[in-house]
Chains A and B, each alone.
Chain A
Amino acid sequence: MAVESFQYDNKIVRQFTIATTVWGVVGMLVGLIIALQMFLPQLNLGIPYTTFGRLRPLHTNAVIFAFVGNGIFMGVYYSMQRLLKTRMFSDMLSQIHFWGWQLIIVSAAVTLPLGLTTSKEYAELEWPIDILITLIWVVFGWNMMGTILKRRVKHMYVAIWFYIATFFTVAVLHVVNSIEIPVSIMKSYPVYAGVQDALVQWWYGHNAVAFFLTTPYLGLMYYFLPKAANRPVYSYRLSIIHFWALIFIYIWAGPHHLLYSALPDWAQSLGTAFSIMLIAPSWGGMLNGLLTLRGAWDRVREDPILKFMVVAVTAYGMATLEGPALSLKSVNALSHFTDWTIAHVHVGALGWNGFLTFGILYWLVPRMYKTKLWSVKLANVHFWIGSLGILFYVIPMYWAGVTEGLMWKQFTADGFLQYPNFLETVIQVVPMYIMRAIGGTLFLLGTILMAVNLIQTAKSGSFEENEAAEAPPLPKKAPESKATGSWHRILEGRPVQFTILTVVAVLIGGLFEVVPMYLVETNVKTISSVKPYTPLELEGRDIYIREGCVSCHSQLIRPFRSETERYGEYAKAGEFVYDHPFLWGSKRTGPDLQRIGGKYPDAWHFNHMLDPTSMSPGSLMPPFPWLITSTLNTSNLETKITQLRKVGVDYEEGYEKIAREAMVTQAKGIAKSLADQGIEVSHDKEIIALIAYLQRQGTDIQGEQTLSGGGQ
């Protein structure tokens, strides 16, 4: 058979390599800055744009979509061409993909500090950027599927299976979770409200972890680990079983982020059950990685690349055992909203994603530049600094998490909360926050060492944009060998069928969870006293969203005595029906705010926002003085009302016409109550709207209760 000559596109791989390294340093640096702000809030320099609530989503987005995202594309573009013995389908699509993705990252880096956010975790970007993401993602998928169709290798390797699953699932997740109704060029509300929004968001959020941080990286592991170790993959049949089991089961597990919440019990239980079933499929990937290294362990001691990969795969195994453990209700009762979650995700992010990326970079760059790594010694130093960084990061965070969980729940013998002042539980873990920042510094330092090492390596070599390769073409009708022709083997040769099956597997779980929430009305009991927000409260809520308050404050009182004693009656699904978006949060660095309404006078809130330590000495919350000086922008008020009505908020027809008047009346009332306390502030300032919102929080159901119990 005639052999065809062609060229691999290394230029696109190099572009993604540089982007991975640069955004890695940036994302980790932002992480370090906010880690320092956790105990030195004044490090925001008194500027809104650098305050924790706005930088935290920048950190998560930069690390997930910029660092790991570019890492995925780097590895996919390198490995896919070689596994399929073909150049990428279209150089133009590759370039559009690359520059489009960088444009998305830059727009995130600009908009998030400006406070333009949907507040939904890892989906904070506003609707125009969401559309751009969709388009660029389609370009990536088009390029990938085109490459698969013009391949010269009949059967797709397991890495490709994972890439396919990644592409389709992320597309579905992103589109479904980002359905929002715009009110202006940079502001929108999700069509979902309250409990539905929470379920969709965590179906997305959980599977962003699954299909952005896990499946593509498993694909990369299946290519780069056997390559680096120069050993055959341990078990083909394990690949098959864990691939299908993983993608089928993963998608169901989202509700485990909402245990002991207002989510219906059945959805919570599904999340728990499927999380437990996920242990073995996840470990299948780890086993296939680690067992592939049999016979290469002597080299693991020498070779920093293999060291990085072993720690990465081990961290993956640890995180995927811990995840199901945290999905057990009894564990989650303690861990949720604490720093335990932060520790857990960083085992995955620093260990699995970080270290695997580093291993791949150290392997890839010398090969593309046809040279040796500039300094193996420096890479070894990076390995040790990085590992130490992980330990210094996660151990204090586990400690902090357990401490917080126990302190929040501790009762005295007389039946009082032992630590009724939430701040005590924060002060207690400050030393852990300091140690975590040291860990983060070490990890960042290692990454910078790697960048230097890679730049020096590149300088010492010569880069070839187009690498020559040869392979025989794929016969038009390849006879299926009977001997090896298991049904799966046949499927591996049929990318279209394979893709359809993959999509079916991942869609089932999503449909089973989300669709019943819409069909079965009884899942969300309506509460007649719950009313839509007033115009002023609505504007205040948007300020709450803009400032990223949800980064540190939950709005979800869980059904535990320790929570209802501290915060009041626990959360009912019917209370959130007008919340577009839901603001339940995922971390309590400060106390829950679901029922903050009426707990303190307006003046308390005013003073607290101006200087939190004045009302709460020792508080680690940054001051928000700009809320007092900035005039509330109400230019979209009417549009907000009409758009929210379209997605189901009960504003009467024509309410938008009188909304402004109602807003001014309410604002003047609050300004007067402040004036009575000697605080002179104009009624059109942002602080007034925020106070209005906070004072409304959780008060709607007070009419439904007797004054006994619950609400203080």
Chain B
Amino acid sequence: MAKPKDELLNHDYDGIQEYDNDLPTWWIWLFYITIIFAFVYLLHYHVIGTGVLQDEKYMKQMNPNATNLAMYRPPSLMEKLLSPYRSPWHSKEPEWTPHNQFAFTGSEDEELQTETDRTANLDTSLEPITDEARIAAGKRAYDQFCFTCHGLRGEGGIGPNLTDVYWINGGSFPEIVYTIQKGVPIKGMIAWERQLSQEDILNVASYVHTLLGTEPSNGKAPQGEEYVPQEMEDVEIAEGEAS
């Protein structure tokens, strides 16, 4: 910065005087550069349309391998002006609307959750895990996420009692796993597959399985249909035979 001249102007405001020094060179350059940046920025995103705006960027995040994301790009000013000669690299979609985003959100293809799908999607081969360490891990997850609705001992609260043989959405182990995975949105049960891995879900379900028949003192009244698991039936039969 050149040394300021410090020449006083013929200004006097209540004793305040003024120099008329040159502006610092770096300040002037800073101003020019920011103005250029601003113009290039607007050109890039909105006139030429080379910039990736938020909808397209999001789609890219969700679908890293997708190639046909140009439809999520609103037409740039240049494309609008040239619209009779629409550029060939633009998508076939005539108009951009946010509507078409709704159909293209998830990375995986899930079907509507209906009763038939429910039974069709069940992995009936699933068995409760007996490994102590994994059940303990299941309890940790339960104590963190599940207890607010189902109670610390599975006695129920906002959610149903998990210790009795009555189940709203099926009491077989595969059904419990499925309920945890997909949730029951209409009743407020969260689809935990978005927060817990398949392994965690199996752990939690196995822990829940161990709560069966523990009969906590403050258990919630039964809800849903009775489901007596095979092994309990066996026990009952054995008991019945014994008596």
Contacts and interface: CB of A to CB of B under 8 A. Distances in A.
Nearest to B97: A525
B98 A276 contact: no
A232 interface: yes
Contacts of B190: 599, 712
B136 interface: no
A603 to B, nearest CB: 5
A565 interface: yes
Given A564-B105, A572-B98, A598-B186, A157 B38 contact: no
A269 B42 contact: yes
Given A227-B16, A283-B30, A708-B108, A236 B35 contact: no
Given A260-B54, A273-B41, A617-B148, A281 B31 contact: yes
A269 B31 contact: no
A107 interface: no
Contacts of A157: 11, 13, 16
A274 B34 CA distance: 9
A601 B156 CA distance: 14
B106 A265 contact: no
A531 interface: no
A561 interface: yes
A280 B195 contact: no
Contacts of A82: 14
Interface in A524-545: 525, 527
A235 B21 contact: yes
Interface centre among A287, A559, A705, by most chain B C-beta atoms within 10 angstroms, is A559
Contact of A600 (B22, B46, B145, B188): B188
Contacts of B10: 484
Interface stretch (A163-171, A334-342, A415-423): A415-423
A561 B62 contact: yes
Contact of A83 (B14, B24, B30, B103): B14
Contacts of B108: 708-709
Interface in B23-59: 23-24, 27, 30-31, 34-35, 37-39, 41-42, 45-46, 53-55, 57-58
Given A269-B42, A484-B10, A280 B27 contact: yes
Interface stretch (B109-117, B119-127, B165-173): B109-117
B230 interface: no
Interface residues of B, number: 69
Contacts of B188: 598-601, 604
B110 A707 contact: yes
A265 B35 contact: no
Contacts of B66: none
A710 B191 contact: no
Nearest to B77: A266
A560 B16 contact: no
A709 B34 contact: no
A265 B54 contact: yes
Contact of A701 (B9, B30, B102, B145): B102
Interface string B182-223: 010111101100111100000000000000000000000000
A236 B18 contact: yes
Contact of A712 (B55, B101, B191): B191
Contacts of B46: 265-266, 269
A187 interface: no
Given A232-B18, A280-B31, A283-B30, A707 B113 contact: yes
Interface string A414-447: 1011001100000000000000000000000000
B4 interface: yes
B38 A704 contact: no
Contacts of A291: 4, 21
B128 interface: no
B194 A236 contact: no
Contacts of A278: 34
Contact of B61 (A83, A525, A561, A708): A561
Contacts of B103: 705-706
A233 interface: yes
B20 A235 contact: yes
Most buried by A among B14, B46, B99, B144: B14
A604 B39 CA distance: 51
A279 interface: yes
A398 interface: no
Nearest to B12: A153
B78 interface: no
Contacts of B8: 232
B232 interface: no
A280 B19 contact: no
Contacts of A421: 144-145
A153 B13 contact: yes
A155 interface: yes
Contact of A236 (B19, B34, B39, B42): B19
Contact of B112 (A83, A223, A281, A707): A707
B67 interface: no
Interface string A259-281: 01000011011101110111111
Nearest to A563: B58
B16 A559 contact: no
A620 B39 CA distance: 45
A282 B112 CA distance: 55
Contacts of A159: 13
B185 A712 contact: yes
A406 interface: no
Contacts of A420: 194-196
Nearest to A231: B17
A237 B20 contact: yes
Contact of A710 (B17, B106, B144, B196): B106
B107 interface: yes
Contact of A709 (B21, B22, B61, B105): B105
A607 interface: yes
22 contacts: A157-B11, A223-B14, A226-B17, A234-B19, A236-B11, A241-B23, A265-B54, A269-B45, A273-B39, A277-B31, A277-B35, A277-B38, A280-B30, A416-B195, A417-B195, A421-B145, A484-B9, A564-B62, A570-B58, A603-B158, A677-B158, A707-B110
Interface of B: 4, 8-11, 13-24, 27, 30-31, 34-35, 37-39, 41-42, 45-46, 53-55, 57-58, 61-62, 74, 97-99, 101-103, 105-113, 144-145, 148-149, 158-159, 183, 185-188, 190-191, 194-197
Give the 8 A-B residue pairs with the shortest CB-CB distance, closest first. A709-B106, A709-B105, A708-B106, A601-B188, A280-B31, A273-B38, A420-B195, A559-B58
Interface of A: 79, 82-83, 85, 153, 155, 157, 159, 223, 226-227, 232-239, 241, 245, 260, 265-266, 268-270, 272-274, 276-281, 283-284, 287, 291, 414, 416-417, 420-421, 484, 525, 527, 559-561, 564-565, 569-570, 572-574, 598-601, 603-604, 607, 614-617, 677, 701, 704-710, 712
